[in-house]
Amino acid sequence: MGKAILLAVTAVVVGASVMLLESSTNRLQADTRQAARQEEALAREIARSAYNLIVSRARQLEVEQPDIELDELVAEVNGTAGKLTGELNGGSYEAWIYPIGASSYGAVAIGRYGDASHQIGNHRVLRNVLEVDQPSQVKVTFLESMTGCCIAIYLQRYVPKNNNGMGNNLGGCDPSNPAHGSSCDIQQDIELKGNGKGKYIALEPELIFAPGNNRDGEQTQVSTILNPGERANIIFAVHAPFDNCGAKKGKNRRGDTSIEIDDPFFDYVRPALVESVDDFAQMQEGPYVMIQPHPTKPNTWRIAFEDQKLSGNESDKLMDVKRYGYGDMIWQKRIGKQWGERNGKFSYGGMGWNEFDQFGYYKLKNYYKVNGQIVPDFSDQVIEIEFIPVPAS
């Protein structure tokens, strides 16, 4: 009987010890996981702070030197070391910007804390493109139009949120209100308070080119007047089938000036500008367009549009062409010193934009497909946007 009691007591002690050990182990694992999550969160916050720092530094320099060239901007922001580095909140960071094409730059920031690291970046930062500083009309000219798709083009005004309708100016009228145009004769009130964190209110798109294709040389000057501080977004609405704008299906929409942007005739839309995912006060270039300012004409830009829908690594492919040019247009890993940061990463192998066309813009080429694969060439619809000043009322 005594042995049985001893065995029972021993079993209880051993069981309690095992349970205590398991509990301690579980607590230790939970603490370790919590510590790792905290490190990840701190690394993420450090990266965000570094990203804001590098972008703010670039924008401040642009304000101080509005005519600074893009390569000079990159060199001055990054400094002699090629990047900013420092310590923050017990961790460290590095951040830098890099040129993308001619009108924008990308920003990258890496935050580190303990064993954790987090990277933010590769988003395009535009340099105040398609924005007017005086009352202007928009002139649009087709430089190239070689797509088989049927495409309509819309103008969309982006109005700053500081426009609050009537009553906020002396005389009880704000002439920059879209309800008035350039005068206050029409007594309407549009309160542009908006929602979300964006800096602009997007107004209803206005059709400027009806569905069609192959329109080289066509142009139009829109009667709508943009007021200082507004941006002109361009939206491409695409009917993808090669069916002569629906004529093969018995419903020809070519030249239809009444078509709305949400008409089911369109398979998808591609805006030139989209709201930035990192900085809600800014706009960024849409993935399917390349925007380039004219090298000598002020208030003039070229918008090159890619009409194909790419699958898989489409964002990587589009960004690769924008940043590096065409290369051999074969999507494969690039290994070697000449590929720099692309070492071991997929790329088309371009080495930069170094050819120019008769207009002074980067020279575009028409590829469509290489080895049976659709590639982004940005030459499907190429238009020039020019702001034409008009007398202020």
More confident residue, 93 or 191: 93
Query: What confidence category does residue 169 fall into, taking pLDDT thresholds of 50, 70 and 90?
Result: very low
Nearest CA among 324, 314, 290, 287 for reference residue 304: 290
- The stretch 85-95 carries a mean pLDDT of 91
pLDDT in tens, 45-69: 998 899 888 888 888 888 788 778 7
- The stretch 95-112 carries a mean pLDDT of 80
pLDDT given at position 29: 66
Q: Where are the beta strands (DSSP E) in 28-178?
A: 84-88, 91-100, 104-113, 116-126, 136-145, 150-160
**Residue ranges of the domains in the chain?**
2-126
Beta strand 150-160 pairing with 91-100: unpaired
Between CA 243 and CA 150 the distance in angstroms is 8
CB neighbourhood size of 34 (10 A): 10
Greatest alpha-carbon span in the chain = 111
Structure tokens at 26: 């579980």
Query: What confidence category does residue 166 fall into, taking pLDDT thresholds of 50, 70 and 90?
Result: very low
Rg (CA), the chain: 28
pLDDT given at position 282: 65
Task: Give residue 316's Cα distance to chain centre.
Answer: 13
pLDDT in tens, 313-338: 678 899 899 888 999 999 999 998 88
